[in-house]
Amino acid sequence: MLPKYSRVLLKLSGESLMGDRTFGIDPKMLESYAKEIKMITNIGVQVAIVIGGGNIYRGMNEAETGIERAQGDYMGMLATVINGMALQAALEKAGVSTRLQSAIKMEQVAEPYIRRKAIRHLEKGRVVIFGAGTGNPYFTTDTAGSLRAIEIDAEVILKGTRVDGIYSADPEKDATAVRYETLSFTEVIGKNLKVMDMTAFTLCQENNLPIIVFDINTSGNLLKVVTGKSVGTLVN
């Protein structure tokens, strides 16, 4: 089985790790993701991952918490490192060699983010997990995903979600919502579809980096995506 893409960046939300829980990490979800990721490394795909932290901490309303936005964002970045460590442990248990790199220095648990080193790890067949977002407040993990994908010369961003692509409306709320097979960047903006935040989306558009939004929770979907099967929605 030959892959269509040789190097990808997989973007996962922190919420996806919760499974049926309302908070934290479900070990079954970690095991499932590790299995899916191992399938694509087995056919020679180089994999980098950016994971959110919303299952542990989501930047809350400053008026409610009294925590200023920048401080809250740094707390969120630390949550992504916790998720990165959990995913790293699950991948290593599944027999996949990994490296965790953090945009905020914490040498005891992760390497500092160094672009050339990350690329070298990928070339050696290691899965590289990027933690702590961009290392700056006011930027989402979507933006971190777009930025890292461009820096490491990934061919595509794979945005793993719980829905099977991009719809004209929220399919969980609107039964008449229509799923798109392909969209251009211009169409996404024109139809005001929420694929990523605008900073992340514009980075992809300006660098001609395609995005595939797909359901990561269906077993085998990740493998189908990297081998060029029509799964989810392609934005290019």
Question: Which pLDDT tens digit goes with each residue over 26-37?
Answer: 999 999 999 999
Amino acid at 29: M
pLDDT number for residue 172: 80
pLDDT number for residue 162: 87
Q: Pairing state of beta strands 233-235 and 7-12?
A: unpaired
Contact of 181 with 230, CB cutoff 8 Å: yes
Task: Name 102's bridge partners.
Answer: 112, 131
Task: Give 47-92 pLDDT, tens digit per residue.
Answer: 999 999 999 987 666 777 788 989 999 999 999 999 999 999 999 9
From CA 47, how far away is CA 10, in angstroms rounded?
A: 7
Task: Name 158's bridge partners.
Answer: 10, 212
Whether the per-residue pLDDT at 156 is higher than 80: the answer is yes
The two structure tokens encoding residue 229: 């099967």
Domains and CATH numbers, the chain: 7-235 (3.40.1160.10)
Task: Give 105-131 pLDDT, tens digit per residue.
Answer: 999 999 999 999 999 999 999 999 999
From CA 15, how far away is CA 217, in angstroms rounded?
A: 12
